[in-house]
Structure 1
Amino acid sequence: MDIDRLVRALAAPDTRRDAADALAGLGAAAVPPVLRELTDEDSPVEWSTSAMLLRRLGAAAFDAVVRCLAVAGAPEVRRRLAWTLAGYGTALLDRYVAALSHPAAIVREKAAIGVQYCGADGFPAVPALLSLLDDEDADVASRAGFVLAQFGPRVIPVMRRIRAEGPGRQRAGALAVLASVGGEAALSERDRAAVERLIRVKLTGDRPRAPETCWLHWIAVPTGDQAGVMAELGLSRPRRVTFALGNDVVDADSHERDLRRVFVTPELDGWTFVIGSWCDPADDERRADVARLCVALSERYGRAQAYSFSEQDDASGWLVAEGGTVLRHWWTADGDDVPDEDADRARGVIGDPLPCEVARRAAIEAENAGEPEDIEGEWSWALREMAPEVAAAMGLSPLDITEDTPVRGTGVVALTPRGGGGEAFLGAYRI
């Protein structure tokens, strides 16, 4: 049978399936030509077709894919080979275990991903993954820890043994795995005390820093009364944190939309920020409660504001309350059309546009004076990214915080009413 003819047939939609079936039946003989197509960026065969076929070829192709990945230079070729290697499944777990000790870091990392995709069936790979916790390549070490954590409570005894007995070079990675699996409850008393000491040491030189996350939600109050703000919001069990730790918690929770924790900053240039998904004034579930809380805060402190901002431009919102009254509450959500008065009323938007909104609209109209049809589209996109601009105009945006921002006090991570009797720290974070 003409293998080259079958490979060429992979490029045509009407012959692709039959050709793939025929090549899969040839076993090892089909590996070199199919691998050649996968690594040729100019090949007429879709790379995913070649990759899936190499996966079908199983053990016959695994080692060849590893060899190619170890020496691949072009980023696109590495990406294709890495994707192929990760998908062989539990049937080739022993090959993944062997690849975890490969000299090439990229092979070790992608083999760990292959174990990850095996799910619970990948547990026999734990001893090999442990040896990577202190890998010289940071990406490999990080991936090994991530995969070990996916096995859940089953790895806790192993990690505790490493923490107690070594090897010493694996202790830091084992601590991160324990924190990821079970939070503070998974740590020994000694480890919990060590973490607290490290936080105290880091706090002595801690400086403000802006949060770095794709989705940011916050309440801003013009006061340094951190304890009073927390009491008004019903927050509990505060734990002192550095800015790096507080911001890391916010980032992790924003991706999971976790409503159980918030980061409460120290006083920053006269403002206290409560940051976390629980503070979102644009979310259907949280909107009314956030408005109620801001009204209560504004009665006590004169003003209170809440904001929602997404770097993905998929949602935005702001709420401004003064003296117990909501002056402005505006939000958009993914899929919203260009807002108009009728749409605002239908959504329940409150209040007249703020001066900064009026000024931004006027600037867009001036910029598009000759093309009025573009004004509404530009305005719609502007509204989706305006939350930090509104916050800055109304006081201070957390995104404008720098290490030079005046600071008084210490930040805390606290539980919201949704957090109940849970833990403030559940996961592994930077300190």
Structure 2
Amino acid sequence: MAVESIGADVEAALEVLGDGTPGAEWAWAETVLRQAGPAAWPGLAEAVVYGDDESAQRAGVLLGFAHVTDEIRIRVSYLLDEDPRERRESVSVLGWRGSAMAPFARVLATRLDDPEPSVVAEAVGAFAGIGRVTVPVLREVRRSRLSSRRAALAALAEIGWDTIDPWDMRVLTRLTTAKSRTEIPQPFYPDAEWYALRTTDRDAVLRAFDLSDPVPVTMRAGFERWSARRTTPPGPWLLERSADHRQCGQMFVSPVLDGWTLVFGKPKDMYHDDTAEEDYEHDAQQRLCVDLSRQFGTVYWYVQIVNGGCGDWMGWCAAENGTLTRYYHHDFSEGAVDIGDPLTAEAGLRDPDGAGLLGMMNSHLPREKMLSLLGTQPDYDDRDLDDTAYAAAQQIWSGRVQAALADVGVDVLPTRSAALIAKRTTVGLDELGPGTSVAGHGVLALTECGRQWGHRGAFPL
């Protein structure tokens, strides 16, 4: 069948479906619709919602439903809703309910080319939530000529890299190798915990963190999972599913950057071991830094978790040749844990107070001036701003606020943050660029927790 005729034949077959025509004509239409595969699924989904009962049942069988119930028709109607927020929410519900939603896989696949990018991202995450039972559907989309084939590849990657077609994997490997050779590091704004080791021995780092199955990745791909402004699949819900073990399954070991090897992530599933949570947060982290410093000499650990209106959860640890020299940890619900003398890098910084610049504006600026400044603040949810553009806009706005506070005699000192301490002690992640010395290449590697799942995750190259 010629490619040009597929659209016309599918349209004609859908008309037969809608007419409820029996006999040989329906047999022909059913054959055409089955052969068309993903190209026919949008029309079949509409038939489930808007067709009469017979048409809905015929369409449902071709989409994988044993029997189309009223509940199924309602769910599919939400997935086709004109309001992108409704579509996104409906997609998210499918992912949350997991493998029970497998019959909806073909209808869900129609959202992989949704005109709203956030719906596409949510659909990729939902496929990962439903799981491996959806792989045949995704592979069918991936092997088609539809624009949704790229999102299907992302969904397969989120489920597991072993589900990706070998030809695709070879292409991705070649692209990664080519880009890594000439890649210039870009500024990065972490929502993560990471280690800085004064070493160039990547194999020793992998052994020290009990990491296995290292796979070369670009810096962009390695940093992306731990970015404060993740904008690629999966949807936000997937990152919040602690039972999914995605955050403790892999770690990124960077190239050597200005003499430091950075390691992002958790070395094991520390939230699910036998230690108490507070032990994880404090005593266990100190022990790990000290143990690492016995091998690598100088070791730093940082954590900076963006926590919306509650402020950042932050901390850092420094150890030298088997001796703990500094541990600081702060969150806005429990306060600070402060051990050892402050680092030189902490000089001239004010303690986080939760209010930040907004609190200082409210305390010291006239109401009209404060409202005027608030009206020019960059929007964190503006998807037209990437990490770099948002950070630049926020810096300009902060400068305006500080200038206004200076006019009324208030001097604003920088606030303690893990990113700022890292900049003053090891590597400034927000200053990565052409001037950064780079040696070797980065890898994603599996933790003890991750070895039961294997590599997974969709990242930009």
TM-score (normalised: structure 2): 0.58
The answer on whether the counterparts of 1:216 and 1:254 sit within 8 Å (CA) in structure 2 is: no
The answer on whether the counterparts of 1:233 and 1:293 sit within 8 Å (CA) in structure 2 is: no
Classify 1:406/1:254 alpha carbon distance in 2 versus 1 (closer, same or farther; 3 Å). Answer: farther
Percent identity at matched positions? Answer: 28
The answer on whether the counterparts of 2:109 and 2:138 sit within 8 Å (CA) in structure 1 is: no
Equivalent residue runs for 1:200-349 within 5 Å: 200-213=177-190, 215-251=191-227, 256=242, 258-278=247-267, 284-285=279-280, 287-312=282-307, 313-337=311-335, 339=336, 349=338
- The higher relative CO (CA closer than 8 Å, separation ≥ 6) is in 2
Pair 1:185-2:216 in alignment:
no
Classify 1:140/1:298 alpha carbon distance in 2 versus 1 (closer, same or farther; 3 Å). Answer: closer
Instruction: Output the CA distance in 1 between the equivalents of 2:255 and 2:89.
Output: 42
Instruction: Output the CA distance in 2 between the equivalents of 1:331 and 1:262.
Output: 22
Instruction: State the partner residue of 1:135.
Output: 114
Q: CA deviation at 1:188?
A: 3.0
TM-score (normalised: structure 1): 0.61
Instruction: Output the CA distance in 2 between the equivalents of 1:428 and 1:249.
Output: 9
Structure 1: gaps of 5 or more residues: 1-61, 64-89, 365-373, 375-381
Deviations 1:121-154 (A, max 9, x none): 6544433332332334433433333334433222
The answer on whether the counterparts of 1:96 and 1:112 sit within 8 Å (CA) in structure 2 is: no
Q: CA deviation at 1:113?
A: 5.0
Instruction: State the partner residue of 2:175.
Output: 198
Instruction: State the partner residue of 1:350.
Output: 339
Q: 2:445 aligns with which of 407, 410, 414?
A: 414
Classify 1:160/1:400 alpha carbon distance in 2 versus 1 (closer, same or farther; 3 Å). Answer: same
Classify 1:112/1:294 alpha carbon distance in 2 versus 1 (closer, same or farther; 3 Å). Answer: closer
Classify 1:328/1:149 alpha carbon distance in 2 versus 1 (closer, same or farther; 3 Å). Answer: closer
Classify the secondary structure of the residue corresponding to 1:223.
coil
The answer on whether the counterparts of 1:307 and 1:316 sit within 8 Å (CA) in structure 2 is: yes
Classify 1:118/1:350 alpha carbon distance in 2 versus 1 (closer, same or farther; 3 Å). Answer: closer
Equivalent residue runs for 1:107-186 within 5 Å: 108-109=87-88, 112-113=91-92, 122-164=101-143, 166-181=144-159, 183-186=160-163
Deviations 1:303-330 (A, max 9, x none): 1111112233352221111232111122
Deviations 1:217-257 (A, max 9, x none): 11112233323333333322211111221123335898547
Instruction: Output the CA distance in 1 between the equivalents of 2:212 and 2:102.
Output: 38
Pair 1:427-2:457 in alignment:
yes
Count of paired positions: 315
The answer on whether the counterparts of 1:311 and 1:385 sit within 8 Å (CA) in structure 2 is: no
The answer on whether the counterparts of 1:232 and 1:296 sit within 8 Å (CA) in structure 2 is: no
Instruction: Output the CA distance in 2 between the equivalents of 1:326 and 1:265.
Output: 24
Instruction: Output the CA distance in 2 between the equivalents of 1:135 and 1:268.
Output: 39
Q: CA deviation at 1:157?
A: 1.6
Instruction: Output the CA distance in 1 between the equivalents of 2:414 and 2:257.
Output: 26
Pair 1:397-2:431 in alignment:
no
Q: CA deviation at 1:186?
A: 1.9
Classify 1:208/1:284 alpha carbon distance in 2 versus 1 (closer, same or farther; 3 Å). Answer: farther
Structure 2: gaps of 5 or more residues: 1-48, 51-68, 231-237, 271-276, 354-362, 364-412
Classify the secondary structure of the residue corresponding to 1:218.
strand
Whichever residue aligns with residue 224 of structure 1, its letter is T
Classify 1:100/1:328 alpha carbon distance in 2 versus 1 (closer, same or farther; 3 Å). Answer: closer
Instruction: State the partner residue of 2:21.
Output: none
Whichever residue aligns with residue 158 of structure 1, its letter is V
Larger Rg: 1
